[in-house]
Amino acid sequence: MKKTAKKDFLKNPVKHIDIKSFDSTKIIESMKEMSFTSRDTARAAEILNKMINDKDCTIILTIAGSTSGGGCMQIYADMLKYDMVDVIVATGASIVDMDFFEALGFRHYKGTPNVNDKKLRELCIDRIYDTYIDEKQLQICDNTIKKIADSLEKRPYSSREFINEMGKYLIKNAKKKDSLVELAYKHNVPIFCPAFSDSSAGFGLVVHQVENKDKHVSIDSVKDFLELTMIKMKAKTTGLFIIGGGVPKNFAQDTVVCAEVLGKKVPMHKYGVQITVADVRDGACSSSTFKEASSWGKVDTVFEQMVFAEATSVLPLIVSYLYHKRDWKNRKRREWSKFWVN
Amino acid sequence: MKKTAKKDFLKNPVKHIDIKSFDSTKIIESMKEMSFTSRDTARAAEILNKMINDKDCTIILTIAGSTSGGGCMQIYADMLKYDMVDVIVATGASIVDMDFFEALGFRHYKGTPNVNDKKLRELCIDRIYDTYIDEKQLQICDNTIKKIADSLEKRPYSSREFINEMGKYLIKNAKKKDSLVELAYKHNVPIFCPAFSDSSAGFGLVVHQVENKDKHVSIDSVKDFLELTMIKMKAKTTGLFIIGGGVPKNFAQDTVVCAEVLGKKVPMHKYGVQITVADVRDGACSSSTFKEASSWGKVDTVFEQMVFAEATSVLPLIVSYLYHKRDWKNRKRREWSKFWVN
Amino acid sequence: MKKTAKKDFLKNPVKHIDIKSFDSTKIIESMKEMSFTSRDTARAAEILNKMINDKDCTIILTIAGSTSGGGCMQIYADMLKYDMVDVIVATGASIVDMDFFEALGFRHYKGTPNVNDKKLRELCIDRIYDTYIDEKQLQICDNTIKKIADSLEKRPYSSREFINEMGKYLIKNAKKKDSLVELAYKHNVPIFCPAFSDSSAGFGLVVHQVENKDKHVSIDSVKDFLELTMIKMKAKTTGLFIIGGGVPKNFAQDTVVCAEVLGKKVPMHKYGVQITVADVRDGACSSSTFKEASSWGKVDTVFEQMVFAEATSVLPLIVSYLYHKRDWKNRKRREWSKFWVN
Amino acid sequence: MKKTAKKDFLKNPVKHIDIKSFDSTKIIESMKEMSFTSRDTARAAEILNKMINDKDCTIILTIAGSTSGGGCMQIYADMLKYDMVDVIVATGASIVDMDFFEALGFRHYKGTPNVNDKKLRELCIDRIYDTYIDEKQLQICDNTIKKIADSLEKRPYSSREFINEMGKYLIKNAKKKDSLVELAYKHNVPIFCPAFSDSSAGFGLVVHQVENKDKHVSIDSVKDFLELTMIKMKAKTTGLFIIGGGVPKNFAQDTVVCAEVLGKKVPMHKYGVQITVADVRDGACSSSTFKEASSWGKVDTVFEQMVFAEATSVLPLIVSYLYHKRDWKNRKRREWSKFWVN
């Protein structure tokens, strides 16, 4: 029996859904008149469109989980391109291992959870549920991060600053154009990764620090928190669009409280939409409702909607609806990254 | 402060989604190239279309949960109308309290889970998560069942036989045409409710039996099981489309074993698709995978797909895809109900 | 390589936990002062003990899922033996395929979900998540049901009547004494299975009916509903202890409404405790909260507790607590089965 | 009507369960012979005890979610005190907002999820599902962090270094002795918070940086990653005990790969136990199985067990079992913190 070779596992790349290629308006409008998760989905879409139409509202998208590698990468890029998002807070994996990784020319591959993981291990294939990645390519990604770090002035950076440099790098070196990281650089949309080292970036930066014992790039997560809070203080009206939960959710919510700690009273996040499969009963942040967050003074509860669903199944419907509504055409880019330019 | 009146709660009826009014083909085809639940959803749609194209395949749809009242009622009716389903096994609630109930001219209403249930109680409004029903109307439904029972020959019936009589009743008396129950009667599609009394039908039949102590209609669930097994024995090739889980799922799966017990070796269900939010780890039937079912000799595992999602969010996409593929045009109606005529 | 034989799969029987062999009082009392599921578990135990101490309260235990086969069989039997339960409503599987099955001398076996199900199929081994059953033994169970049916007067029976006959059979023929079915017979505790045919009983009864075309035993689920409602009307004060959900839950809850339909106003179920992993957001009955049930006038909401947990992990703690509190010593057996004697 | 005052909400403090006060050995041993989650729980306890008995094994405990505030704080402290854990990786909330917070003399309070969150907001009460916190006290906690930062040399710190300083602070200033942070300091157990700013610590440090624009304490998460990886390289044999998931889980798992990136081949984590309610199907790290992690070369799959349960309900049973087995008496403290002394 012939052995399955690495290329047999890595032959069907994930293709990212293009929400411009179909119009979900009719579906969302129908779901509005149904019950359960369908109606929650429709209401989420409506609240998001309300954010887009609120001239004062800065929209913060937070991303945790693997939806970017799992087919939603183009959705996030389109949201940025078509001015539906002003700030991004994400896990390092979403930004570095997935988005930046594909910008370097690599791909995610369709696989199956029912596989011999020992075999994958031997072939250096990493699995995310039903999706495969070539670990050798991830190592190139790690190394690219190291090279970027090597080229920078040695001092503490916020993750936003470092990701900005990654965007700059892509302008010249991207194999795949219009990644989220590159578009964010171009359009001055800041991206924060509050646990930046917990990703491929961490590997590259650890090597950088080991090779540069005394003077090196470090990632100061306090600086992240301060910078995001400064945006909140300046923006005042904000809306959250939360994919997954985790640290990005908590981080974005906390800016309201942080502003207060800094002596500036700011309004709670005015809008809140979250898509998650988390279980509300374990007291973890990922699953906490907006009602709970309102007790902390973080999110208002007039325009809020939890959608309990795996995001790849409902996000395409929601964002296709937003795109085809075309209300984003009337928005003006916030370009929050300019905040820190000279 | 003015009190909220009953009519204030019952003013926004659930409107059932019309999967013919939009074409999800492009979405399903895109999801096929993604990961996680989106890819599972696309694969489910493909397997269902394979069932439709398999000339030998009898398609059994099982329904548990409240999707019928929650906006999917028209989907089920369209599946029957456009010849995508040959046998239905359902909870009594889906068939009697929801489908038959609306055929009598009543409606489900959009509500909210964040409501004072005591207030609802006072107003005789029943709540299903975020959906309301007028209990007074449900009582009319109970009573209609009683009237049908009163009019029948006094003997044990299978639920199929009784539901057939309900369809006959609707031909003359329906306020809303083309309900599932009426269409099933017209097109000779048998509907089984293995726990028929566990519904509005139960209330009506209990009163019927109390008023007719000695001779009355009874519902023999053994007869149901025998009849469904006879279809399986005759049909041979079968596919399951399972919404929810529960008794309908178990009942339909068990027919393979039952045929064997009756001395007739039949093939396992060849195709299996299930949409559920059940948790696989509690050992209950609702959440058991097709792989587990295959150990019982019930369902084959070549063409099977579990979709872990709340059905209202993915079912419209799946069935719109099937409808627009139009492969059902080449099917011939099985008309399994004719099996028991004369 | 030697093949794995059937006996290699079926060598480690599930042993049912004995909640008398340890005292969980200290644990439950500690959990009362914690948060999340631990506190919910403790509160459930307290409400159940309140039911036990309420002299007027008839306690209805409903069982769905596979906990009986999965190690909780002795818990249910002990609850009956030590007078903590007055009425049981269950799935056919819990009563026939699990409890009655083991009373005939057969066992469930410890297995694993990570197994080749095709292999199990070849060896006639049925799998329930991580538990195995010998299908040949299940067939003997089916056949025993058939023999019991053959021996009875040919007429419609409620499941309660039939299960009573099963208990009578076990008095003489049980290989394992003190099964739930046998104890229920001895102590006059009625057991209802509203979907009785959806189990091993169904197989036996189908063969019985096929062999006795004209006159045979049938199972009238309307009669079940009427009988359970009559108990509710007579008992007035009732408490529900719901394991899982499904048809048994709905059936037991519905008796309040059914009594009303029969012209007798009865109080809602005064107490309610449910242990389930069901997801509250799909609108299905299994996951509906007691608050939702109160809108239907079914369950009061003063003493109610949902415990979102897989039952095998918390039920032993709860019932050990009840046992060692010893308040059941002051109860008087209701013996509801006597209701139908002469 | 008298208004509910703040003190009425904050009157019943959460009391942390003392797993030494009861012996769960008999329960765990019984659960070993059952099915589903009970057997998973028992197997998790056995694998953890195996870690304790493996003389070469460094045990890494990771904590995400709110179990520490929810009644498990004493469990974690006892695990450290009785030498069952050598390294801790946690969310900032677990370490700062919960453990350090109570060490300062503050408490969590028993509450309910069914509360008016607006009212809580007015009273400055923060809610975590069914648990309350006085926000004014949290602010004192923030401020204490700031004071500690103010007192330190201005340079980048790993979170481990900073938490070590928090432990030193508690030696002199703790109102409640034997907190996890203090015990860790005393016994040289390093604690890492890879997303340290995402907590009360973040608030304090932001103020510190604002007040010290040019020279200040920063938290370098790259340094965290490097330090934890150095432990992994030195320890070789490691076992993971994961509560929740999130960044701490990913961070601890990734050390194997990071070591490899640094040119040192280390074995995968030899043991793995996780307690979580996460849903395996969304491709997020929190829910990824050890089998999936093995494809990444992170965790071996011989001794691994996922327990799908809310941790407060099963953790007390597991750790009480470990405590009463007393095999930890034969362990020698690793004192990994000494690694960085001088």
Residue C342 has what pLDDT? 46
Phi-psi region of B310 (alpha: psi -120 to 50; beta: other; left: phi over 0): beta
Q: Using CA atoms in the order B74, B78, B81, B86, what is the torsion angle rounded to 10 degrees?
A: -100
Any alpha helices (H) in chain C, and if so which ranges?
Answer: 6-9, 25-31, 36-53, 73-81, 92, 101-103, 117-122, 135-150, 159-173, 180-186, 200-211, 221-235, 246-261, 290-295, 311-325
Which pLDDT band holds residue D281 (cuts at 50, 70, 90)?
low
Across A160-164, A242-246, A261-265, D258-262, the highest mean pLDDT is recorded for A160-164
Q: CA C296, CA B133: separation in Å to the nearest integer?
A: 10
Segment D31-54 shows an average pLDDT of 98
Residues 159-178 of A with CB under 8 A from B: none
Q: Kindly provide the ipTM of the predicted complex, given to two decimals.
A: 0.96
Is the Cβ–Cβ distance between A181 and A68 less than 8 Å? no
What's the token pair of residue C281? 């957001």
Q: Over pLDDT 90: what percentage of chain D? A: 87
How far apart are the CA of C279 and the nearest CA of chain A, in angstroms? 9
Is the Cβ–Cβ distance between C255 and C265 less than 8 Å? no
DSSP C267: P
Residue D342 has what pLDDT? 47
Any alpha helices (H) in chain B, and if so which ranges?
Answer: 6-9, 25-31, 36-53, 73-81, 92, 101-103, 117-122, 135-151, 159-173, 180-186, 200-211, 221-235, 246-261, 290-295, 311-325
CB < 8 Å & 24+ apart, contacts of D168-175: D169/D144, D170/D100, D170/D103, D173/D104, D174/D103, D174/D104, D175/D103, D175/D104, D175/D105
Closest Cβ opposite residue D281 in set B37, B281, B282: B37
Is the Cβ–Cβ distance between C197 and C166 less than 8 Å? no
Rg (CA), chain D: 20
**Is the confidence at residue D95, as pLDDT, over 50?**
yes
The strand pairing partners of C128, in sequence order, are C131
Poorest-pLDDT segment among A202-216, D28-42, D278-292: D278-292
Residue B54 has what pLDDT? 98
How far apart are the CA of C98 and the nearest CA of chain A, in angstroms? 30
Only one residue has tokens 């200040």, namely D216
Chain B residue with CA closest to A74: the answer is: B34
Poorest-pLDDT segment among A274-288, B83-97, B298-312: A274-288
Residue D253 has what pLDDT? 95
Phi-psi region of B68 (alpha: psi -120 to 50; beta: other; left: phi over 0): alpha
Is the Cβ–Cβ distance between D84 and D52 less than 8 Å? yes
What's the token pair of residue C130? 């991580």
Q: Over pLDDT 70: what percentage of chain C? A: 98
Other beta carbons within 10 angstroms of residue B45's beta carbon come to 28
**Is the confidence at residue C281, as pLDDT, over 70?**
no
Q: Over pLDDT 90: what percentage of chain C? A: 87
Closest Cβ opposite residue A36 in set B34, B312, B316: B312
Of A81, A232, A298, A325, the catalytic one is: A298
Which pLDDT band holds residue A295 (cuts at 50, 70, 90)?
confident
Residue D277 has what pLDDT? 87
Poorest-pLDDT segment among A200-209, A266-275, B289-298, C41-50: B289-298
Of C175, C298, C329, C338, the catalytic one is: C298
Residues 76-95 of C with CB under 8 A from B: 91, 93
A27–chain B Cβ distance below 8 A for any pair: yes
* Chain D residues in contact with C109 (beta carbon < 8 A): none
- What chains are in contact with D, requiring at least 3 Cβ pairs below 8 Å? A, B, C
Segment B97-125 shows an average pLDDT of 95
Contact partners, residue B153, CB within 8 Å, separation at least 6: none
Is the CB of A37 less than 8 angstroms away from the CB of B66? no
Residue A342 has what pLDDT? 47
A118–chain D Cβ distance below 8 A for any pair: yes
Other beta carbons within 10 angstroms of residue A186's beta carbon come to 16
Which candidate, B260, B226, B261, B227, places its Cα nearest to that of C143?
B261
How far apart are the CA of B206 and the nearest CA of chain A, in angstroms? 31
Which pLDDT band holds residue D114 (cuts at 50, 70, 90)?
confident
The strand pairing partners of C304, in sequence order, are C272
C24–chain D Cβ distance below 8 A for any pair: yes
Is the Cβ–Cβ distance between C59 and C34 less than 8 Å? no
Q: Over pLDDT 70: what percentage of chain D? A: 98
Which candidate, A215, A224, A216, places its Cα nearest to that of A146?
A216
**Is the confidence at residue B342, as pLDDT, over 50?**
no
Segment A214-223 shows an average pLDDT of 95
Residue A164 has what pLDDT? 98
Which candidate, D159, D336, D101, places its Cα nearest to that of A195?
D159
Is the CB of C37 less than 8 angstroms away from the CB of A282? yes
A117–chain C Cβ distance below 8 A for any pair: no
Is the Cβ–Cβ distance between C253 and C293 less than 8 Å? yes
Which pLDDT band holds residue B284 (cuts at 50, 70, 90)?
confident
Length of chain D: 342
pLDDT tens digits along D122-178: 999 999 999 999 999 999 999 999 999 999 999 999 999 999 999 999 999 999 999
Is the Cβ–Cβ distance between A298 and A33 less than 8 Å? no
Q: CA B298, CA C98: separation in Å to the nearest integer?
A: 19
Chain C residue with CA closest to A277: the answer is: C279
Contact partners, residue B93, CB within 8 Å, separation at least 6: B66, B198, B199, B200, C250, C285
**Is the confidence at residue B340, as pLDDT, over 90?**
no
Is the Cβ–Cβ distance between A308 and B129 less than 8 Å? no
Q: What is the mean pLDDT of chain A?
A: 95
B237–chain C Cβ distance below 8 A for any pair: no
What's the token pair of residue B336? 């399994």
Q: Which contiguous run of DSSP H or E holds residue A76?
A: helix A73-81
- Distances in Å between the Cα of A296 and the Cα atoms of A257, A268, D180 are 8, 9, 25
Concatenated DSSP letters for D89-137?
A: EE-HIIIIIIIIHHHTT---EE--SSS-HHHHHHTTEEEETTEEEEHHH
D193–chain C Cβ distance below 8 A for any pair: no
Concatenated DSSP letters for A235-268?
A: H-SEEEEEES-HHHHHHHHHHHHHHHHTT---PP
Which candidate, D198, D202, D179, D209, places its Cα nearest to that of D251?
D198
Poorest-pLDDT segment among A272-281, C270-279, D248-257: A272-281
Which candidate, A73, A22, A314, A313, places its Cα nearest to that of B25?
A22
D74–chain C Cβ distance below 8 A for any pair: no
The strand pairing partners of D134, in sequence order, are D125
pLDDT tens digits along C56-112: 999 999 999 999 999 999 999 999 999 999 999 999 999 999 999 999 999 999 999
Residue A251 has what pLDDT? 92
Which pLDDT band holds residue A281 (cuts at 50, 70, 90)?
low
pLDDT tens digits along B179-190: 999 999 999 999
C153–chain A Cβ distance below 8 A for any pair: no
Residue A2 has what pLDDT? 66
Chain A residue with CA closest to B318: the answer is: A313
Phi-psi region of B332 (alpha: psi -120 to 50; beta: other; left: phi over 0): beta
Residue C73 has what pLDDT? 98
The strand pairing partners of D273, in sequence order, are D241, D305
pLDDT tens digits along C185-210: 999 999 999 999 989 899 999 999 99
Q: CA B206, CA B152: separation in Å to the nearest integer?
A: 15
**Is the confidence at residue B238, as pLDDT, over 60?**
yes
Segment C266-272 shows an average pLDDT of 96
Residue B1 has what pLDDT? 53
Q: Quick check: is C118 catalytic?
A: no
Closest Cβ opposite residue C261 in set B66, B207, B285: B207
Q: CA B30, CA A317: separation in Å to the nearest integer?
A: 12
Residue C292 has what pLDDT? 87
Q: CA A234, CA B135: separation in Å to the nearest integer?
A: 52
B309–chain C Cβ distance below 8 A for any pair: no
Concatenated DSSP letters for B144-189?
A: HHHHHHHHS-SSEE-HHHHHHHHHHHHHHH-SSSS-HHHHHHHTT-
**Is the confidence at residue C320, as pLDDT, over 80?**
yes
Phi-psi region of A269 (alpha: psi -120 to 50; beta: other; left: phi over 0): beta
The strand pairing partners of D238, in sequence order, are D58
Closest Cβ opposite residue A71 in set B33, B71, B108: B33
Higher-pLDDT residue of C246 and D27 is D27
Q: CA B202, CA B216: separation in Å to the nearest integer?
A: 14
Is the Cβ–Cβ distance between A259 and A193 less than 8 Å? no
How far apart are the CA of D31 and the nearest CA of chain A, in angstroms? 23
C281–chain A Cβ distance below 8 A for any pair: yes
Q: CA C331, CA C53: separation in Å to the nearest integer?
A: 7
Between chain A and chain B, the number of residue pairs with CB atoms below 8 A apart is 148
Poorest-pLDDT segment among A84-88, A233-237, C294-298, D311-315: C294-298
Is the CB of C36 less than 8 angstroms away from the CB of A282? yes
Residue C284 has what pLDDT? 74
Q: Which contiguous run of DSSP H or E holds residue D192?
A: strand D191-192
Is the CB of A70 less than 8 angstroms away from the CB of B35? yes
Segment A133-150 shows an average pLDDT of 97
Concatenated DSSP letters for C177-219?
A: SS-HHHHHHHTT--EE-TTTTSSHHHHHHHHHHHHTSSS--EE
**Is the confidence at residue B283, as pLDDT, over 80?**
no
* Chain D residues in contact with A196 (beta carbon < 8 A): 221
Is the Cβ–Cβ distance between A24 and A316 less than 8 Å? yes
End-to-end CA distance of chain B: 64
